Amino acid sequence: MCGIVGYVGDRGSLDVLLGGLGRLEYRGYDSAGVAVLDAEGHLGTRKRAGRLSVLADNLIAEPLPDGATGIGHTRWATHGGPTDGNAHPHLGDDGKLALIHNGIIENFAELKAELLAQGDEFTSETDTEVAALLVGRAYRETGDLTEALRRVVARLEGAFTLLAVHRDQPGVVVGARRNSPLVIGLGEGENFLGSDVAAFVEHTRRFVAIGQDQIVTIRPDSVEISDFDGNAVEGEESEVSWDASAAEKGGWSSFMAKEISEEPEAVRNTLLGRVHDGRVVLPELDGIAEVLAGIDRIVVLGAGTASYSGLLGKYALEEWARIPVEVELAHEFHYRSPVVNERTLIVSISQSGETMDTLLAVREAARLGAKTLSICNTQGATIARESDAVIYTHAGPEVAVASTKAFVAQAVALYLLGLWFAQLRGSVPAERIAGVLDDLSHLPEQFQEVLGVEEQIRTLARWMSDTRAVLFLGRNVGYPVALEGALKLKELAYIHAEGFAAGELKHGPIALIEPGQPVFVVVPSPRGSAKLHSKVVSNIQEIRARGARVIAIAEKGDAAVLPYADEVIPIPLVSPFLEPLLAVAPLQMFALELAAAKGLDVDKPRNLAKSVTVE
């Protein structure tokens, strides 16, 4: 939550900051602000509640003198509402220092009391202002911004990325991080800081991810990293595998529409280089292969959509690898006394790799002795770096708050992991593994076919735009799809939606069915398990008998469904494990179209942010 960008170089920083904030706005859009410093030490700040466009319009109406050093922030409010006053930057040292923050300073109340007792005045309700005032005081004592920040971070508890500039140090931006992300963009005669690489990918693809409890000082020609104790740290340079155009909307109506259209490519890229001669090859696991041979249990951790792809992974891992798998919401795992040990493999799933709930759960599992493997989409993200191994999904940047292509890519990565384990344990014949891999290789074309149902979905969504509640049913691998369909609808169209395991219907949820109630049903292929198929068809009959309006997502030509469904969304014939990947796309499109039909902002739903980097 909250997007942060910093710049030092030889050009006006405002363009860089606003461009970076535009690409980081998915992290929060309650307010935005910038601080700009010129070579003569003139420090100007501007901040406005609302979207970035409000700030940008204001800067056009009343230009701020530009400078070659600057910091910018886009906020997802935690402490204090989304007002101009609570927007960042916050000031310290009598207005000579500007500071921005992502995270939550948990001990801010006691620090604030201390500062008030010393005569400081506060102009906001934020926890951030405490840090600004403290760094201001420390600067007065040290005369050096890096040292000042170092002194202050030692006193802060919680999660923070802080960036600061000081009027007396033009050409310097200092950043510090604990439990929140920060990456350095390396340029020629200029350097950048950002919450993620999207902040500066337009200018450079070279980056260094800053580690936990580290401080960085950037100048136009230098980058210095040190730990909180002042020891120098060597940063490891990497290169972003995509360019700025991948994070642009192009001609699409929304990032979400674009990202759904990229699902075939996401599948292709996640498979790329990982299948050879009918076998899965995951060199990423080489370093922990020996340990993996001895594990007796897998715990999959994630939040939201990532937890649903994890559930899909459970079915595949248990079927192929024959290892018991539990799937748990990361935030629940963290706050109980989980039983894990060195024979447990933790598989964490996170598109951003920065979700705080997941990160903390991974750390807790590691502390208890478990091995950790992450499935991550963002290169160099904290969860990836803190895990013993990482399988990157290579789905490309996902900008829309609603996760779409990441879900599909995560499931593919989990399937690869399941097949890899099956190879290791000899639990599935080689021909069957080769068969699944072959099926996976055809998935991108089949996706294209599914994406062709767009018009049918649009019509359905328009017809349903006044709907107040929608239910989703699925069994087996269709169940996570039902959960995901419901989540998409809630977050995008603000409609009450619930996903149920179809077998659970008669244990309560069927009471919700009344005449006209729309119910999406994910129907398994009769060719996979005839028994499962007939159970779901029976469930459809049960709800239909009570007046439900049934929208079935079913294999093309599934005649058994036709008499009972009001609408059938056809998906191509694929093997059972691949069905959920195709079935989820129409549900994603449905949520998008319904939100659009209601005139809502599809990419930036209310109250949400893309990366949940606070608990």
Which of the ranges 161-169, 171-179, 350-358, 496-504 carries the binding residues for ligand M6R, by CB under 6 A? Answer: 350-358
Q: Note whether 355 binds ligand M6R by CB under 6 A.
A: yes
What distance lies between CA 563 and its chain's CA centroid?
Answer: 40
Q: How far is the CB of 207 from ligand M6R (least distance, A)?
A: 19
Pairing verdict, β 43-49 and 31-37: antiparallel
Q: How far is the CB of 441 from ligand M6R (least distance, A)?
A: 25
Name residue 95's amino acid: G
Which of the ranges 38-46, 105-113, 344-352, 541-549 carries the binding residues for ligand M6R, by CB under 6 A? Answer: 344-352
**Closest to 285 measured CA to CA, from 135, 195, 417:** 417
Q: Fill in the DSSP letter of residue 221.
A: T
- Say how far apart CA 177 and CA 170 lie, in whole Å: 22
Which of the ranges 32-40, 352-360, 411-419, 540-548 carries the binding residues for ligand M6R, by CB under 6 A? Answer: 352-360
**Closest to 220 measured CA to CA, from 284, 278, 171:** 171
Residues of span 98-117 touching ligand M6R by CB under 6 A: none
Q: How far is the CB of 304 from ligand M6R (least distance, A)?
A: 2
Query: What does the buried/exposed string (b/e) look like for 31-46 if buried means 16 or more CB atoms within 10 Å of the residue's CB?
Result: bbbbbbbbeeeebbbb
* Cβ distance to ligand M6R smaller for residue 355 or 539: 355
Q: Note whether 350 binds ligand M6R by CB under 6 A.
A: yes
* Catalytic site residue from 2, 112, 488, 604: 2
* Cβ distance to ligand M6R smaller for residue 263 or 491: 491
Which of the ranges 123-131, 217-225, 400-408, 530-538 carries the binding residues for ligand M6R, by CB under 6 A? Answer: 400-408
x/- contact string, 292-311, with ligand M6R (CB under 6 A)? -----------xxxx-----
* Cβ distance to ligand M6R smaller for residue 269 or 611: 611
Place of tokens 């060199």: 283
- Say how far apart CA 170 and CA 408 lie, in whole Å: 46
* Cβ distance to ligand M6R smaller for residue 330 or 540: 330
* Catalytic site residue from 47, 112, 371, 610: 610
Terminal-residue alpha carbon distance, the chain: 10
Q: How far is the CB of 104 from ligand M6R (least distance, A)?
A: 17
Please state, in angstroms and as integers, the Cα–Cα distance from residue 577 to each residue in 314, 443, 477, 503, following that order: 11, 11, 7, 19
Q: Note whether 588 binds ligand M6R by CB under 6 A.
A: no
What distance lies between CA 440 and its chain's CA centroid?
Answer: 24
- DSSP H helical ranges for 183-254: none
* Cβ distance to ligand M6R smaller for residue 202 or 491: 491
Among 209, 402, 473, 493, binds ligand M6R (CB under 6 A): 402
Q: Note whether 403 binds ligand M6R by CB under 6 A.
A: yes
Q: Note whether 414 binds ligand M6R by CB under 6 A.
A: no
Task: Write out the two tokens for 409.
Answer: 């890519």
Among 69, 86, 352, 379, binds ligand M6R (CB under 6 A): 352
Q: Note whether 351 binds ligand M6R by CB under 6 A.
A: yes
Task: Write out the two tokens for 293.
Answer: 């041979």
Q: How far is the CB of 379 from ligand M6R (least distance, A)?
A: 14
- Say how far apart CA 490 and CA 496 lie, in whole Å: 6
Q: How far is the CB of 538 from ligand M6R (least distance, A)?
A: 31
| 610 given a catalytic annotation | yes
Is the peptide bond between 324 and the residue preceding it cis, with omega within 30 degrees of 0?
no
Place of tokens 């699902």: 263
- Say how far apart CA 109 and CA 65 lie, in whole Å: 35
Q: Note whether 401 binds ligand M6R by CB under 6 A.
A: yes
x/- contact string, 489-518, with ligand M6R (CB under 6 A)? --x---------------------------
* Cβ distance to ligand M6R smaller for residue 344 or 352: 352
In the bound state, the residue with its beta carbon closest to ligand M6R is 304
Q: Note whether 358 binds ligand M6R by CB under 6 A.
A: yes
Please state, in angstroms and as integers, the Cα–Cα distance from residue 382 to each residue in 178, 376, 511, following that order: 10, 10, 44
CB-hemisphere CA count at 13 Å for 56?
Answer: 13
3-state secondary structure of 224: strand
Size of the site for ligand M6R (CB under 6 A): 16
**Closest to 250 measured CA to CA, from 393, 399, 351, 395:** 399
Q: Note whether 214 binds ligand M6R by CB under 6 A.
A: no
* Cβ distance to ligand M6R smaller for residue 126 or 305: 305
Q: Note whether 254 binds ligand M6R by CB under 6 A.
A: no
Which of the ranges 3-11, 189-197, 351-359, 540-548 carries the binding residues for ligand M6R, by CB under 6 A? Answer: 351-359
Name residue 418's amino acid: G
Q: Are 565 and 550 in contact (CB under 8 A)?
A: yes
Task: Write out the two tokens for 108.
Answer: 């801010």
Q: How far is the CB of 347 from ligand M6R (least distance, A)?
A: 13
Q: Are 410 and 385 in contact (CB under 8 A)?
A: no
Residues of span 182-211 touching ligand M6R by CB under 6 A: none
* Cβ distance to ligand M6R smaller for residue 306 or 513: 306
The beta strand positions in 65-205, using DSSP E, are 69-75, 90-92, 97-105, 158-166, 173-178, 183-186, 191-194
Neighbouring-strand partners of residue 74: 3, 32
Q: How many other C-beta atoms can be found within 10 angstroms of the C-beta atom of residue 567? A: 16
Q: How far is the CB of 17 from ligand M6R (least distance, A)?
A: 24
| 506 given a catalytic annotation | no
Which of the ranges 16-24, 149-157, 397-405, 496-504 carries the binding residues for ligand M6R, by CB under 6 A? Answer: 397-405
3-state secondary structure of 12: coil
* Cβ distance to ligand M6R smaller for residue 356 or 569: 356
- Say how far apart CA 566 and CA 585 lie, in whole Å: 20
Chain residues binding ligand M6R by CB under 6 A are 303-306, 350-352, 355, 358, 401-403, 487, 491, 611-612
Task: State the catalytic residues.
Answer: 2, 610
